Amino acid sequence: MEEGLKTADPHDCSAYTGWTGIALLYLQLYRVTCDQTYLLRSLDYVKRTLRNLNGRRVTFLCGDAGPLAVGAVVYHKLRSDYESQECITKLLQLQRAIICRDSDLPDELLQGRAGYLYALLYVSTEMGPGAVCGSAVKEVVDAIIESGKALSREEKKAERCPLLYQWHRKQYVGAAHGMAGIYYMLMQPAAKVDQETLTEMVKPSIDYMRHKRFRSGNYPSSLSNETDRLVHWCHGAPGVIHMLMQAYKVFKEEKYLKDAMECSDVIWQRGLLRKGYGICHGTAGNGYSFLSLYHLTRDKKYLYRACKFAEWCLEYGTHGCRIPDRPYSLFEGMAGTVHFLSDILAPEASRFPAFELGSPQRDTKVQKDD
């Protein structure tokens, strides 16, 4: 992978396909092994990204917020407080464009407000709640909620789906561009959305989306799409499953856990992808759904499934899969595969990169015997 990175785009600083994603991978390897060498390697890539911010996008995965948030965390772990705070200051300076009412910024995770919210929550989770002021988080959350309410009223769906979102004039469902990713972020404890809003706005919106699933247990790419084809983190059950698990944690209703288990069955049956081994639309990203469900239920069936997907990924390049445009990147290529495989070695501490926040917590209500 390191040899292949010599041919990567030197100007791509994103977490999705660029140098910040590689920095995240080395940060992950440091977290799993506690080897300081990996942290210093992460710093090398952080320095590279911070020299090349372009200001075109503002999210964690695809914009400047990602390099700044990861930089803040890496410098914090190295006890370089001045550099860490400088990254946070620059991160917060992006907020004006996020909350501006005249902005045409979408709300989704990859390129919209939810992606910027992730960056704030990532810093807070890794460095402590005092790292980012609560008012900054609240303003972004309020902007996301108001945007969802406005579209719902416009589409005359306020009673059925109080928070409705679209991207490029389509009401996408999945984690990357759709409602699953946005609802997931609003349910994060660090977002501090009040219980009334969660119960009266987020929950019925999730239920509206749940009723759009196919008989197979998979989900459409958008509300208007009736084709049961995609089984990716970006579009389909592998992304929606994370939202369902979070809904179970927040609302304590068994229907969400049941739906998540049905998503897992879809992924087990259809989740080995010819599209590749990456995270966004590849087998590694699908395998993370099993690890997350294992953390929640402690049912070793899901750890077994994750391991079987990892075995498939270990045969990298032997399945005739498509070569992605960025073959060594975190969300499209080999770096994402390595990230997933490293988490298989430490399943108790694993965490889906740039999506799950904080260390996995055991849910005693559904715990099974180890």
Q: What is the pLDDT of residues 79-97, one digit of tens each?
A: 999 999 999 999 999 999 8
Confidence tier at 2 by pLDDT (50, 70, 90)? confident
Which letter does DSSP use for residue 200 in this model?
I
Q: Could you report the per-residue pLDDT of 124-167, keeping only the tens digit for each?
A: 999 998 999 999 999 999 999 999 999 999 999 999 999 999 99
* Least confident range of 285-289, 318-322, 329-333: 318-322
CB within 8 Å of 19: residues ≥ 6 apart: 8, 12, 13, 45, 48, 49, 67
Supply the mean pLDDT for the chain. 93
Mean of the pLDDT values across residues 255-278?
A: 96
What are 161's two structure tokens? 């789906």
Backbone angles phi, psi at 222, to 5 degrees: -145, 165
**Which candidate, 116, 352, 83, 130, places its Cα nearest to that of 242?**
352
Comparing 301 with 359, which gets the higher pLDDT? 301
Q: Could you report the per-residue pLDDT of 30-74, keeping only the tens digit for each?
A: 999 999 999 999 999 999 999 989 888 999 999 999 999 999 999
Residue 366 scores a pLDDT above 70: no
- The alpha carbon of 66 is separated from its chain's Cα centroid by a whole number of angstroms, namely 12
Which pLDDT belongs to residue 121? 97
Backbone angles phi, psi at 201, to 5 degrees: -115, -50
Which pLDDT belongs to residue 123? 97
**Which candidate, 268, 284, 290, places its Cα nearest to that of 324?**
284
Which pLDDT belongs to residue 7? 86
Confidence tier at 369 by pLDDT (50, 70, 90)? very low
Contact 154, 114 (CB under 8 A): no
Which pLDDT belongs to residue 128? 92
Is 281 among the annotated ligand-binding positions?
yes
Contact 132, 123 (CB under 8 A): yes
Question: Distance (Å, rounded) from C-alpha 110 to C-alpha 63?
Answer: 9
Residue appearing with tokens 């090398």: 44
Is 234 among the annotated ligand-binding positions?
yes
Which pLDDT belongs to residue 359? 53
Which pLDDT belongs to residue 345? 84
Confidence tier at 367 by pLDDT (50, 70, 90)? very low
Q: What is the dihedral of CA 197, 200, 203, 205, to 10 degrees?
A: -100
Cα–Cα distance list, 61 to 116, 177, 214, 236 (Å) = 9, 12, 29, 19
SS (H, E, C) 201-253: HHHHHHHHHHCCCCCCCCCCCECCCCCCCCCCCCCCHHHHHHHHHHHHHHHCC
Residue 29 scores a pLDDT above 50: yes
Which letter does DSSP use for residue 35 in this model?
-
Cα–Cα distance list, 31 to 75, 127, 200 (Å) = 15, 14, 38
Which pLDDT belongs to residue 358? 65
Confidence tier at 351 by pLDDT (50, 70, 90)? confident
Is 280 among the annotated ligand-binding positions?
yes
Confidence tier at 22 by pLDDT (50, 70, 90)? very high
Which pLDDT belongs to residue 55? 83
Confidence tier at 3 by pLDDT (50, 70, 90)? confident
